Amino acid sequence: MSEPSYHPGLEGVIAGETAISTIAGGAGLRYRGYAIEDLAREASFEEVAYLILHGELPAADALGNFCGRLSAAAVPPAELLAFMRSLPHDTPIMDVLRTAASALAHFDPEAADTSHDAQLRKAERLLAQLPTVLAAQWRFGQQQEPVLPDGEKSFAANLLWMLSGTEPTPRLTEAMDVSLTLYAEHEFNASTFTGRVITSTLSDLHSSVAGAIGALKGPLHGGANERVMEVLAEVGSAGNAEPWIRAALAEKRRIMGFGHRVYKEGDPRARFLKPLCQELAAETGHEEMEEMAAVIERIVVEEKGLPPNLDWPSARLYHYMGLDVGVYTPLFVVSRVTGWAAHVIEQMDNNRLIRPRSRYTGPENRDYVPLNERG
């Protein structure tokens, strides 16, 4: 029998089937058949979340009912908020979201029910509750009281409202809504695959989402957008951009925000977000950072052939929106929970235990040596 082929990092391996999204040969991204550009341009995040979870874009009454269910579930149990108050104020929001995703199972009457309809109801409740957890932990860290969700606001506007306690402008709401749509789903990425592996053991949705958050926390996945801001802060000015990036490339430093395992010709989400990023920079007085980013992007593409991924413009967009770096990856969570939950449901509906093999690289057969004979 021939040796099974080995693919480090599972690169290029088809590990399952999905009807949720496709990267379309590495050139585009579609959610349930709809181009990401069309959804980001025309649809609200609530419409996109409904599409990902339920399979079709909602009619007006279905969308209204969906938003009503999210609004009704948006306030987490008081016991969870009390626990969050007891945590050190500098506890990272990602850690709190991971814990909350698990803890919320204790208060969910359908936590152990893995039927399709129950999974959907639990997914909607998590989608509603995690933004409130994010904002509350951010405010606890600032020695401030949480701001309760406003059922009259959109998902994006409500998120900004709970973070700041001030009415968000239409422009900031639009930028948040677009970013949530772009981050909502992305096929078999590391965190989604983690969730599907957990689900394949017939574990519950909350466990799968908690595991996915743990995977997203890593700087090579969700944490990359935070590293982008570290790069821009280190560069400091547009005039320093070219010498800095050329020196960094000469030193073979990894520049976060560039390259993608699948998108070899460029991330369509980054292309879509770039003009909005430029517009918001001009409106908020951050033209120099955009100029700095443009120089770095041009040289990395020319010298390394690595186009930017979504993290490159989204980190700047959040900065122009006045958001703290500590909420960047958590914002990824409250969007991607839609995709994670959809994959959990799909995996459970057509389950097969995910159990790959490994290539052994240890020593060959060795004879056991009794303890008293070992040197």
* Residue 1, pLDDT above cutoff 60: no
**Measured over all CA atoms, what is the biggest interatomic distance in the chain, rounded to whole angstroms?**
78
**Distance from C-alpha of 40 to C-alpha of 134, rounded to nearest angstrom:** 23
Each residue's pLDDT tens digit, 234-262: 999 999 999 999 999 999 998 989 988 78
- Residues with a known catalytic role: 260, 311
Residue 297 and residue 231 in contact, taking contact as beta carbons nearer than 8 Å: no
| Cβ count near 323 (within 10 Å) | 19
Q: Model's pTM, two decimal places?
A: 0.94
pLDDT, position 346: 98
Rounded mean pLDDT of 111-131? 98
Arithmetic mean of pLDDT over the chain = 94
Confidence of residue 7 (pLDDT cuts 50, 70, 90): confident
Please give the structure tokens belonging to residue 285.
């007085």
Domains in the chain: ranges and CATH? 17-218+326-349 (1.10.580.10), 224-320 (1.10.230.10)
Confidence of residue 331 (pLDDT cuts 50, 70, 90): very high
Rounded mean pLDDT of 345-361? 94
Count Cβ atoms within 10 A of the Cβ of residue 79 and give its class: 0-12 exposed, 13-18 middle, 19 or more buried.
exposed
Residue 315 and residue 166 in contact, taking contact as beta carbons nearer than 8 Å: no
pLDDT, position 26: 62
pLDDT, position 27: 65
Please give the structure tokens belonging to residue 371.
């303890």
Pairing of strands 21-22, 34-35: unpaired
Q: Report the share of the chain in percent with pLDDT over 90.
A: 87
* Residue 52, pLDDT above cutoff 70: yes
Backbone angles phi, psi at 118, to 5 degrees: -65, -40
Rounded mean pLDDT of 92-97? 97
Each residue's pLDDT tens digit, 158-200: 999 999 999 999 999 999 999 999 999 999 999 999 999 999 9
